[in-house]
Amino acid sequence: MCGINGLVNCGDHETLARMTSVQAHRGPDDAGLWEQRLPDGSYFGLGSRRLAIIDLSPGGHMPMCNEDRTVWITYNGEIYNFAELRRGLLSKGHRFVSNTDTEVVVHLYEEEGAECVKRLNGMFAFAICDLRSGTPTLFMARDHFGVKPFYYAHNGRRFAFASEVKALLQVPGMEAGIDPQSLHQYLTFLWVPDPKTMFRGIQKLPAGHSATFRDGKLEIKQYWDLTFPAENSISPRPEKELAEEVRERFRQSVEAQMISDVPIGAFLSAGLDSSSIVAMMSRATRQPVRTYTITFPPKYRVGETTLDDPAVPARLARKLGCENQQIVVEPDVADLLPRLTWHMDEPTADPAIITAYLVCREARKQATVLLSGVGGDELFAGYRKHAAHYWAQAYQRVPSAMRRLLEPVLARLPGMRGTSVKGSVRLAKKMARSASLPAIDRFVMNSTYLDAAQKDSLYTPALTEEIGGYDPSARHRAAFGEVEDADFLNQMLYLDTKIFMTSLNLTYSDKMSMASSVEVRVPFLDRELAEFVAWNVPPSLKLKGTFRPTTKYILRKAMQDVLPREVLNQPKAGFAAPVDYWLAHDLKEMVDDLLSPSQLRDRGLFRPQAVRAFVDEHRRGVQDWSMPIWQFLTLELWMRTFLDSSANRWMDAPQAASA
């Protein structure tokens, strides 16, 4: 795993070195630069920071080249089928000087050009500078699901890319500024969907896409997409047979992703996904699998239903013969949050970034690679919003007059902070505002925390004018159109896989693990496994039932002889954090300071009285506004970090955050 960056016709050696240095946390084991100044004055430069995972020798140094030094690569990721690809390339006469997967990509590109990405199974983001023709070509690619990040900026003949935005901000003339439309998206979803970023002029290469930059022209092309069969077109197969094949394909994926020359471990929560990974890992090795479970002291858990019970993974680890380290955390969140904001690059108002960072920081003391359950919910239908679609269909059969009476009552329910019914009340309020809407509008609404009216009351006239009527859910609606013939459950899974998972879950997993120099792998996102599930498992075996549906049904059936009933029946618990507690205690002073009326007026984005109303209502228990307040707080920290000063402000953040 690595941090990559590069330049075409902008900056110089010092710029390239700064870009590489600011990503040192992504690769503490080695660093390298390669540059080429052409007779016409064109400049190409590649930089790399290396976290050595496969072939720890100096032979893995990057940027790396082919035999005659005409093809150079900077690469971030792991190709799990690299050994098979290497054998084929050897048979065609290619010579290797290392045992890395990086060198396999170099020679595969020599052999197949841009089509090489279709042969890769893994997670990757890379750039190849091809000097073999008269006009140098920069070829870039991002993996199928977007596990690894790839940011870029393009202006005429000038082009720059990096694993993290903070590296791009080292380029002369690259100023950090807010994109108003992206801000509108952030206030809608808690994060900004790909390919946009919060930074004006900086974009992300979409998952499953490659790009070619040649003679000042950038061409972006999709090389892969997750597809689904038309509704009701899947030929039924015996459930037992299907479950067995899902289990076997999943086992193969887990074992392939256990290849490593450094210590490896796994996240272990009380949930089905991480438990399934650990169970397969324990079957594949004679050594006890290292597992890591994060938990919070009892005071944080009051009224929270999304914090895992640490006793469940502890019992599972004993049953499987695994080592289990329970990481009990009571972080100084007021100190930690600004530093993690620097690592995230973009404002991301999901408090799971804190728990993700803390577990990676502790695990790094023993392991460099961790396997994660990210992707299981998107493949097999594990989120409550998937079931909400069927609940809403039933609700719409209630007479409309009765619904008009009921919905305002539910909307006015207090937040019920600190009680066991808090989660149920939150669900009821979400259903009240969305259940009567058409299916697509309902799904989009269930993915948001502030509706259009609330944002209108929040924005200043100047911000409203800059946004200019932009639809923040346009990306979502376009994605529905890509799979409009599929069953609606599969449409929801497509959106979650392409947008929610890539832009949020995979992004914070990458940034928070790399902040501790840890590589996170995601066995559920094996391309062949995902394609099999999409085309062979009918929706009724992903989410079984409608009133009290069984989520991820076929995965539970696949693992029923592997995992104990306690895990199979465990309700979903998010990789979350005690936001309510932090806002009421640890972060109360920070909220009052950063979201003060004078500070908000100076920013000119939000009406101070509107923001204060959210804070006051939340503190009085009138409404649960914890997530919008977290949004405002995260945004202000981001602006202070990236807009008010140089991104270099937190140059020492990797060391300080891990202290």
Q: In terms of DSSP bridges, do strands 519-521 and 203-204 run parallel, antiparallel, or are they unpaired?
A: unpaired
Nearest to residue 71, comparing CAs of 119, 96, 106? Answer: 106
Q: Give strand pairing partners of 58.
A: none
- The conformational region for residue 473 under phi > 0 = left, psi -120 to 50 = alpha, else beta, is alpha
d(CA 514, CA 508): 10
Output the six-digit token pair for 283.
Answer: 């079957």
Q: Are the C-beta atoms of residues 379 and 536 closer than 8 Å to each other?
A: no
Question: Within the chain, how many helices (H) and strands (E) appear?
Answer: 30, 17
d(CA 129, CA 57): 24
Q: Are the C-beta atoms of residues 218 and 154 closer than 8 Å to each other?
A: yes
Nearest to residue 535, comparing CAs of 235, 222, 146? Answer: 235
Residues making up the chain, counted from first to last: 659
Tell me which of 2, 10, 65, 360 is the catalytic residue. 2
Q: Are the C-beta atoms of residues 1 and 514 closer than 8 Å to each other?
A: yes
Output the six-digit token pair for 268.
Answer: 């272990």
Place of tokens 């972060």: 587
Clarify whether 65 is annotated catalytic.
no
Residue 49: its H or E element:
strand 43-50
Nearest to residue 203, comparing CAs of 181, 227, 172, 226? Answer: 181
Output the six-digit token pair for 478.
Answer: 């376009």
Residue 645, classified by CB atoms within 10 Å of its CB into exposed (0-12), middle (13-18) or buried (19+), is: exposed
Q: Are the C-beta atoms of residues 226 and 497 closer than 8 Å to each other?
A: yes
The radius of gyration of the chain's CA atoms, rounded to the nearest angstrom, is 24
d(CA 569, CA 111): 49
* Number of C-beta neighbours around residue 303 at 10 A: 16
Q: Are the C-beta atoms of residues 458 and 467 closer than 8 Å to each other?
A: no
CA 273 to mean position of chain CA atoms: 16
Q: Are the C-beta atoms of residues 209 and 222 closer than 8 Å to each other?
A: yes
| Active site residue ranges | 2
